[in-house]
Amino acid sequence: MSLKGSKKVDTNRYELEITISAEDFQNAIKDAYRKNGKKISVPGFRKGKAPLSLIEKYYGEEVFFEDALNLLYSDALEAAIDEAGLKIVEDKIDFDLVSISKADGVDFKSTITTYPEVEITEYKGLKAEKVKPTVTDEEIDEEIGRMADRNARVIAVEGRAAENGDICTIDFEGFVDGVPFDGGKAEGHALTLGSGQFIPGFEDQIIGHNVEDEFDVNVEFPKDYQAENLAGKKAVFKVKLHEIKKRELPAIDDEFAKDVSEFDTLDDLKADLKAKTLERKTASADEEVENELIDQLIDNLKADIPEAMFERRVDDSLRDFDYRLRSQGMDLETYMKYLGQNDVAEFRKNFRPQAERSVKVRLALEKIVELENIVPTADDIKEEYEKLAKQYNMEADKLKGMVPEEELVKDIAVSKAIALVKDAAEIKEVAKKTEKAEKKTAAKKPAAKKSTAKKADNETKTASKSTTKTTKTAAKSTAKKADAEEKPAKKPAAKKPAAKKTASKKTEE
């Protein structure tokens, strides 16, 4: 098997002409005979017992050509891709059979999609603004207030009417035009007044009533209410108030600090909250800087990117989204029904903007790896395996069997590339971003039709997260999962070669 020739036939499309020697092809015919000969009937022989020469004489010399070529095709194509030095993208592979015979072997052409030629005009000395994080006493007091609210006691209220914020236990039944409707009745329902749990006007009309009061609540369903038979209609609810409770906040003092944390004093708790809030804000500011730099890298990227790379990334995002849904007891089909969507092609559009960004980021960073000759060390690889093992609570040796070192090395190199870009950037610390910077950031944000894409593609929000997607996904799903656009396919998913069968009755039963 050898590469006879290769030529570029279109943008990111190469045609390879590949030959398989007569010897290799004849050996493959024998393998095909051993595998499939038992299915063939020849007069005068028991089924599957006829020798190869007689089967070929009866059905024609080419009886096993297709099976033999199928046995050789993938390896032949892979070897040709390696010999041509091409990096391919998972996409359609066009097959054209030039000639085939036992005497001369096989000559065929395959047209494949390759990685784009990439240029990046500038990646050092990029400029970005970083907002200096600050934490105010008011922010800490608000967080302490939220902690107090989470630790509030619920106690019964006596001697007064219901107030906004109270938790009221009620029975109710709704009527439209004097007729009860489905879903409009409940007993012993706990409702927090002011929560907005019920339709507008319902909770307000409970305020001022006392325990054991029975009264009517008059409301009008919103015109866009999900139940079409109720939308825009007036309704009367018969309500009985059984119990009123309220949340009692704890005193915020040293005892409170002991109850809700490992600290003995309120001052120590506040100091810890301030440190953690500052750490969180610092990480957020760093992330914004990284995104700003990544946007500039994308702007400086020059490449004719194959459509297949974007589509494969969308496929990956959909699979990951479905994986997360399944971990929560749902699947993609059910989720789409919940949203009222049944068009998968339309749903895929939600993932497209982030898919394009992710592919472009990866290409830009891989080009920087090439230009800077970034090569991870053995210590880098060991440290990354240990980090992933700890993250997914697995043994490092087991993880190595699931995450190929080749892929890990690529991800580490790309992470080092973004670190290089950040180290070489001119980052100005400011109290507030300039109007120009804010407008530029806002302009980069795609206007997604739904929040689905945001939920599904948070892993591509920053480069440092998206660049390690391959190895993290492999560890999470405990299977080899490689991004098609991030490496050459070792076994191209080609259509089976169309070597015509001339013996339609060869598998007669």
Above 50 in pLDDT, residue 101? yes
Above 50 in pLDDT, residue 447? no
Query: 369 is written with which tokens?
Result: 């790896």
Query: Averaging pLDDT over each range in 35-39, 46-50, 106-110, 404-408, which range is the top one?
Result: 106-110
Q: Given this model, what pLDDT does residue 433 score?
A: 81
> What value, to the nearest 5°, has the Cα angle with vertex 441 and ends 436 and 443?
95
DSSP 111: E
Work out the end-to-end distance of the chain between its first and last CA atoms, rounded to an integer number of angstroms: 35
Q: Given this model, what pLDDT does residue 437 score?
A: 61
Q: What is the SS3 assignment for 209-232?
A: CCCCCEEEEEEECCCCCCCCCCCC
Region class of 196: left (phi > 0), else alpha (psi between -120 and 50), else beta: left
Q: Given this model, what pLDDT does residue 506 score?
A: 40
Mean pLDDT, residues 289-315 taken together: 95
Q: Helix, strand or coil for residue 388? A: helix
Q: Given this model, what pLDDT does residue 484 score?
A: 37
Q: Given this model, what pLDDT does residue 487 score?
A: 36
pLDDT tens string 419-429 = 999 999 999 99
Share of the chain above pLDDT 70, in %: 85
* CA–CA distance, 304 with 210 (Å, rounded to integer): 71
Above 80 in pLDDT, residue 234? yes
- Residue in the structure block whose two tokens are 């914004």: 288
* CA–CA distance, 65 with 50 (Å, rounded to integer): 18
The per-residue pLDDT of the chain, averaged, comes to 86
Q: Given this model, what pLDDT does residue 334 score?
A: 87
Q: How many CB atoms lie within 10 A of CB 442?
A: 8
Q: What sign for the dihedral angle of Cα 252, 254, 256, 260? A: positive
Mean pLDDT, residues 266-277 taken together: 97
Above 90 in pLDDT, residue 75? yes
Q: Which residues pair with 237 in a beta bridge?
A: 174, 217
Above 70 in pLDDT, residue 442? no
**Where would I find the H helices in 233-306?**
254-260, 266-299
Residue 419 phi, psi (nearest 5):
-65, -40
Using only C-alpha atoms, the chain has a radius of gyration, in whole angstroms, of 33
Across 372-440, the runs of DSSP E, i.e. the strands, are 426-430
* CA–CA distance, 418 with 364 (Å, rounded to integer): 10
Domains of the chain: 2-114 (3.30.70.1050), 153-248 (3.10.50.40), 277-478 (1.10.3120)
Residue 92 phi, psi (nearest 5):
-60, 145
DSSP 44: T
**Where would I find the H helices in 328-351?**
332-339, 344-348
Q: How many CB atoms lie within 10 A of CB 69?
A: 24
* CA–CA distance, 161 with 265 (Å, rounded to integer): 38
Mean pLDDT, residues 452-458 taken together: 47
Mean pLDDT, residues 59-77 taken together: 94
Mean pLDDT, residues 80-99 taken together: 94
DSSP 3-state helix, strand, coil percentages of the chain (rounded to 5)?
45, 20, 35
**Are 107 and 99 within 8 A, CB to CB?**
yes
Mean pLDDT, residues 14-40 taken together: 93
Q: Given this model, what pLDDT does residue 472 score?
A: 53
Q: Helix, strand or coil for residue 88? A: strand
